[in-house]
Amino acid sequence: MMKKLLPVLLATACLASACATTTPAPNPAVAVQPQAPQAEAQTSESTDTEQPQMPPGLTFDDIQPFANRVEWPEMSADQTPVYQIQSGTDDGVWVEGKGYFKGSLDDVYADLTDVSIMGPNHLTEDIVRDAFVETPNQTTYVMHIKMKYVLSISFDLGATIDTLYEGQDRAGYLFHNEKIDGTSFIKMISTTIVVKELPDHMFSVEMLSINKATQDKEDECRRFIQNLFGYWAIKSQSR
């Protein structure tokens, strides 16, 4: 179940199968490891037991690499935010970016669940978040989006955020959103982001967006990543 989003280039089809509904698939129940049985019966004075540990979710070993069409930028000695973006057309528009920014995983999680940051705000501000569900290892929500070109169009993006672990420690996030319903003018919107916590209050971001529409516009597809990376660069000054 945890690997169904990846590899990343195949994950673009995962949520597309859910186009008949605007609600993401229900989260699986989170299993809890039971307490190991004691070799000897305990007396009433020794009934305290350790709380069971929540099992980890995805690890970075579960994530296969992107197509690597953009190089990682070189991090500066003073940890100034830095990023690189490449884009092109190949059965639609693809945009890929990598960068380093200042902030904590809590900062990143707040950003990934904020539609004013993760929604296509370069195209419209009419975005409503719905169906928000949080569990210890996964968060899902839906963005309802309305846009006006010559005609008014609307579509839904389903988003999933999986916690990534190294050992038992939270070490990052895997974010994926996908068009799940709406206008036929947009055939696919698919964005995947891998965030990894780094030393010294830094995090790395690897991002891929694939878009297929009646009129593919590379500059519009690039603008979402440019806006997001620009936002993280600005926030790095205060985080």
Measured distance CA(119)–CA(146) in Å, rounded: 11
- Local confidence band at 22 (pLDDT 50, 70, 90 cut-offs): very low
Of the pLDDT bands very low, low, confident and very high (cuts 50, 70, 90), residue 214 is confident
At 151 the pLDDT is 81
The fraction of the chain above a pLDDT of 90, given in percent, is 57
Q: Residue 45: what pLDDT? A: 41
- pLDDT of 33 > 50? The answer is no
Q: What is the mean pLDDT of residues 86-112?
A: 95
Q: What pLDDT shows up at residue 9?
A: 37
Identify which of 125, 98, 94, 102 has the alpha carbon closest to the alpha carbon of residue 191.
94
Ranges of each domain in the chain = 8-19+68-235
pLDDT at 59 over 50: yes
Please report how many Cα atoms fall inside a 13 Å half-sphere around the Cα of residue 103, on the Cβ side.
25
Whole-number Å distance between alpha carbons of 161 and 60 = 14
Instruction: Say whether 233 sits in a helix, a strand or coil.
Output: helix
Q: Give Cα 80 distance to the centre of its chain.
A: 23
Residue 51's pLDDT is what? 54
Q: What is the pLDDT of residue 236?
A: 96
Q: Give pLDDT tens digits for 121-132.
A: 888 999 999 999
Residues 6+ apart with CB under 8 A from 33: 52, 53, 55
Is residue 37 over pLDDT 50? no
As beta bridge partners, residue 163 has 173
Lowest mean pLDDT among 35-44, 64-73, 178-187, 191-200: 35-44
Per-residue confidence at 32, pLDDT binned at 50, 70, 90?
A: very low
Query: How does residue 55 score in pLDDT terms, banded at 50, 70 and 90?
Result: low
Question: In this predicted model, what pLDDT tens digit does every residue of 139-152 receive, in sequence order?
Answer: 999 999 998 877 88
Measured over all CA atoms, what is the biggest interatomic distance in the chain, rounded to whole angstroms? 76
Residue showing tokens 């010559």: 150
Architecture of domain 8-19+68-235: 2-Layer Sandwich (3.30)
